[in-house]
Structure 1
Amino acid sequence: MAEPSFLQTGLTGACPQCGARTLFAGPVGFAPKCDHCGLDYSAFNVGDGPAAFLTLIIGALVTVLAISLELSLHPPFWVHILLWVPITAIAVVYGLRIAKGMLLASEYRNKAREGRGSDPDA
């Protein structure tokens, strides 16, 4: 199977090397390695970058939508809670899967690894 694109890796949880859907072991946690080709996912450092961007993007989007709903329909407060809490949670989980998958695929394609410093013996 050919290497999947960044978007395919993010959307489907496909391994960036073989394309098998083995990238995630949980909702947003990476598996230790690919069960199909053996690619070690722990060698990549995705970190918290996607979470920070998603907090800003999803937070801003949900805030604008909630304010728009309030100003146009004036629903009771419980409607906002029942509507925006699950929408926010679902958007964060799926957004993290997509962003983390795409970032890991980018690191794989660009052969990004942890810094080794300037010591030639290391």
Structure 2
Amino acid sequence: MSLTIKTATPVDTNDVKVIPAMRRGFLNHCPACNQGRLFRRFLKVVDHCESCGTEFHHHRADDLPPYLVIFIVGHLIGYGILMSETKLEVPMWVHLAIWPALTLILCLALLQPMKGAVVGLQYALGMHGFGVARARKNDEDN
């Protein structure tokens, strides 16, 4: 079963599937064509795709990616601490060496992919100007 969202613009006849668009963004690919890069720096989204020309300057992936990263990493680290405390006898210095470092590594590793997934979600749902840009691009192609 695939989740498909139709945008509210009457000109756009193309269906955009949410999960593939989010997966493409998660992997740092353009949500539209899967060819171009989505980021030019660590968290800086490109203005437009160099492959298909889709505009990304109007995205609004501000607070959701860090919230998702905090939610995921907090649950993983909290579960890891709980299990290591209940199942293993680990000295406190090991906990102080492992868990903060692992938290930092996981947060930095997940932040860009989460932002890409949120940009892909916004693209698929036609949010924040993506629907209008997609309709304009379809008009130019026809």
Please give the range of the TM-score, normalised by the shorter of the 2 chains: 0.7 to 0.9
Q: Distance in 1 between matches of 2:103 and 2:52?
A: 35
> What residue number does 2:98 align with?
83
Residue 7 of structure 1 deviates from its aligned partner by: 4.5
When the two structures are superposed, what TM-score results if normalisation uses the length of structure 1? 0.73
Q: Show structure 2 runs of 5+ residues with no match.
A: 1-16, 130-142
Partner SS, residue 42 of structure 1: coil
Q: Show structure 1 runs of 5+ residues with no match.
A: 115-122
1:27 pairs, out of 19, 22, 42, with: 42
- Identity over aligned residues, as a percent? 24
- Which of 50-59 and 40-49 deviates more? 50-59
Residue 68 of structure 1 deviates from its aligned partner by: 1.5
> What residue number does 1:5 align with?
20
Residues paired across the two proteins, number: 112
Q: Distance in 2 between matches of 1:101 and 1:68?
A: 32
Amino acid at match of 1:31: V
Residue 42 of structure 1 deviates from its aligned partner by: 1.7
| Change in 2 beyond 3 A, CA 1:81/1:27 | farther
> What residue number does 1:105 align with?
120
| Change in 2 beyond 3 A, CA 1:64/1:17 | same
Partner SS, residue 74 of structure 2: helix
Q: Is the 8 A contact 2:69 2:107 kept in 1?
A: yes
1:37 pairs, out of 46, 52, 60, with: 52
Amino acid at match of 1:33: H
When the two structures are superposed, what TM-score results if normalisation uses the length of structure 2? 0.64
Q: Distance in 1 between matches of 2:48 and 2:41?
A: 13
Task: Report the aligned-residue RMSD.
Answer: 2.4
Higher relative contact order (CA 8 A, sep 6+): 2
Moved segments of 4+, more than 4 Å: none
> What residue number does 1:63 align with?
78
